[in-house]
Amino acid sequence: MNAHFVPPLANTLPALVLDAAQRHSERLFIEDGDTRIDYASLPARVFAVTRALIAHGIEPGDRVAIWAPNRAEWILAALGIHCAGAAMVPINTRMKGAEAADIIERSHARILFVVDRFLDVDYPAMLAGCRPATLEKVVAIGEAGAHADTDWARFLAGGEGVSEEQARATAQAVKPDDMSDLMFTSGTTGRPKGVVSAHGQIIQAFIEYVKIAGIRAGDRYLIVNPFFHTFGYKAGWVTCLIAGATVLPHPVFDAEAVFRRIEADRISVLPGPPTLYLSMLAHPKLAQTDLSSLRVAVTGASTIPPVLIERMRRELGFAVVLTAYGLTECGGLAAICAADDDAETVALTSGHAIPGTEIRIVDGDNRPLPVGEAGEICLRGFHVMQGYCEDARATAETIDPDGWLHTGDVGTLDARGYLRITDRLKDMFIVGGFNCYPAEIEAALTGHPSIAQVAVIGLPDERMGEVGCACVVLRPGHTVDEAGLIAWSRERMANYKVPRFVRFFASLPVNASNKVVKNELRALVRAPA
């Protein structure tokens, strides 16, 4: 527990920017290569984005999207959007053009901030062929090129006619219940749904996170988790703003690069999925690397053996190792362990409900179950989303009349109130920390001309936690091999969604309702050694 932490009084992200500038003025907020932004100068940098948005005609309640890897401009763009009273729409950098276009169109985003190139991919070009008509401006972070309307510097210059006072007034008018972000998450229907969150929810939840994890002013936080995900955004740089820590963005996880940064940049906070720590522990330079600055690790996303927690403490030097549980629909944080929990508790549970919230386990008739009995995990409290954007039916199916959010995850609560995740009602599996929804992947695979029927399941994987396996029934007279279908998939979906294995069947096991019985399918499938 963070005994010396004094929570900010701010209850909106714009107010948090101004509060942090006063409380931590002498500290560095962002350190990204040659870009260094201290807390004192942060409001002016953020308001420059807000002024440009206002000059373009962005008004409170509008939506503005960001499609870029972790970097300083991502944070400035997001906070500039928040200070304009607009909602920020983050887009997964692993998405292809059509996937991004769908989110841009359905969110009604008027402006898109997009990286010019990342991992040898021209992002504006990827969008060009399917750009929604409702998207008014594409702003390239980097070179504008042929497929963006302007670049970052010219866009900001367009706001010079709007005063900083006007931007500040717009920021100060934002209220705690106003929409802060619209984050799209896939569901059992296979089509991503937009989760509406508010400013006050984020700040209240992650003040608790800072307290429990013991994050301090002056901590140096290497954010490997992507900013488009709640883990990199809310549990990442927003957490730094709350605590007065320094954000060190890291765009792509590579064990050796992370090692170098820990030593060279004296990293003290390093959250991530179990995959990250396993990769570090297996790294050949582990013994030669100075990891003495490391203090706090927070993980989750899958069950991990107690020995991993012990090794993280012993071999990586973390004083605090926590596991947590959350989903986009509750702002990314529902439960978290305590800093002094033993290795078994940290590894085998996801902790207890954060203050101000409740967790309960229910049966198929929505009746609460006793301690130790498995059922659906339900959440209630200030952190529950306002709803799904423009989807009242899906909202009503997810949040019951008593305000309980039905997660679709299966788990148990012990006598201490600690949560253990045991299964997933929605068949979701997690690849290296990324949620994969079979229905979404199946919908894409059915577009292949040779596929008659397909079911996707998750299989255990030592490095990634889980990976996808496509179980395929071919159309009569058609052929496709495993390599060919995987290559076809890579062209059409984000890499983490692409099945790692393909198994061919004459027919799939089904129940009396003609639905595929995935438990039977899992028993039939064995991943190659």
- Which residue matches tokens 């939840």? 205
How many residues belong to the chain?
A: 529
pLDDT at 527: 46
pLDDT at 513: 46
Give the domain ranges of the chain.
13-199, 253-424, 430-524
| E strand spans, 326-442 | 335-336, 352-353, 357-362, 375-381, 387-388, 405-413, 419-424, 429-431, 434-436
DSSP 235: I
Fold classified for 253-424? Rossmann fold (3.40.50)
Count Cβ atoms below 10 Å from residue 382 Cβ, excluding itself.
15
**Is the separation of the CB atoms in 470 and 485 below 8 Å?**
yes
Positions of the chain with pLDDT lower than 50, given as ranges:
187-189, 513, 527, 529
pLDDT above 70 covers what percent of the chain? 96
CA–CA gap between residue 315 and residue 286 (Å, rounded) = 8
DSSP 40-104: TTHHHHHHHHHHHHHHHT--TT-EEEEE--SSHHHHHHHHHHHHTTPEEEE--TT--HHHHHHHH
Helices marked H in 266-375: 274-281, 306-314, 343-348
Report which of 34, 37, 36 is spatially closest to residue 20, judged by C-alpha positions: 37
Tokens found for residue 138? 């594409």
CA–CA gap between residue 219 and residue 153 (Å, rounded) = 30
pLDDT tens digits along 190-236 = 578 999 999 999 999 999 999 999 999 999 999 999 999 999 999 99
3-state secondary structure of 356: coil
3-state secondary structure of 20: helix
Look up residue 441 and give its amino acid: I
- Which residue matches tokens 């608790």? 208
Domain 13-199 = CATH 3.40.50.300: no
CA–CA gap between residue 303 and residue 136 (Å, rounded) = 44
Fold classified for 430-524? GMP Synthetase; Chain A, domain 3 (3.30.300)
Residue 380 is inside which H or E element, if any?
A: strand 375-381
Quote the mean pLDDT of the chain. 92
pLDDT tens digits along 295-336 = 999 987 555 778 889 999 999 999 999 999 999 999 999 999
- Contacts (Cβ under 8 Å, ≥6 apart) of 120: none
Report which of 393, 70, 113 is spatially closest to residue 247, judged by C-alpha positions: 70
Domains 13-199 and 253-424 share a fold: yes
Q: How far is CA 215 from CA 3, 124, 391, in A?
A: 10, 37, 37
pLDDT at 514: 56
Residue 513 has φ and ψ, to the nearest 5°, of -90, 10
**Is the separation of the CB atoms in 83 and 171 below 8 Å?**
yes
DSSP 495: G
**Is the separation of the CB atoms in 372 and 349 below 8 Å?**
no
pLDDT at 529: 43
pLDDT at 301: 54
Residue 48 is inside which H or E element, if any?
A: helix 42-56
pLDDT at 284: 87
CA–CA gap between residue 303 and residue 134 (Å, rounded) = 42
Using only C-alpha atoms, the chain has a radius of gyration, in whole angstroms, of 23
pLDDT at 362: 96
Q: What is the 3-state secondary structure (H, E, C) of 421-433?
A: EEEECCCCEEECC
Question: What's this model's pTM, rounded to 2 decimal places?
Answer: 0.85
**Is the separation of the CB atoms in 388 and 193 below 8 Å?**
yes
